[in-house]
Amino acid sequence: MVIANRYRLVVAIFFLSAGVVRAETADEMAISRLLRGMFDKPGAVLSIAPVVVAGNHAIADWSQSDMGGRALLRRTQAGWAVVLCAGDAIRSRDALKRAGVAADDAVRLERDLAASEATLSPAAVAMFSRFEGLVMMDAAEGQPASSDRHHRR
């Protein structure tokens, strides 16, 4: 029994130190819950990873069926809120600054997103680029700001 527990501990330490297993932070879990609550559909579960956070902003890469993109989020008093959805249009620090992200945080988000995406397959990163354009979200309702309110779910 003691040997089995030590073996499990050694294996866990190995995987953690190798970067294979990484626990989600509280922010990452909250962002994942928010996005899944907004966009999960029966038979089309939203996959979210990576999520990078800097200050009061975050970028979450997502994919669902044959589509993917990136969401820019802002921390509010009520929790995280989606600011906009985009593809490659939100990867640069300049685009992030135009979206209201502080300069230092924009630099960190750009750097951390690039580093996180570098660990993924080229196909996964290409999926996040499939979202065309930029859609501003209504922070109060988590829906596209220009959508017809009568057709929301």
Residue 140 is predicted with a pLDDT of: 53
**Predicted structure pTM score:** 0.78
E strands, the chain, are 47-54, 57-64, 67-76, 79-86, 134-138, 143-144
At residue 116 the predicted structure's pLDDT band, cuts being 50, 70 and 90, is very high
At residue 138 the predicted structure's pLDDT band, cuts being 50, 70 and 90, is confident
Task: Supply the mean pLDDT for the chain.
Answer: 84
Q: Is the peptide bond before 50 cis (omega within 30 degrees of 0)?
A: yes
Query: Could you state, in order of their start, the residue ranges of all structural domains in the chain?
Result: 24-143
**For the stretch 107-117, what's the b/e string if a residue is b when 16 or more beta carbons lie within 10 angstroms of its beta carbon?**
ebbbebbeebb
18-75 residue pLDDT tens:
444 457 899 999 999 999 999 999 999 999 999 999 999 999 999 999 999 999 999 9
Take residue 62 and report the two structure tokens written for it: 């997502």
Is a pLDDT exceeding 90 seen at residue 149?
no
Quick check: 129 and 85 in contact, CB under 8 A?
Answer: no
The identity of residue 30, as a single letter, is A
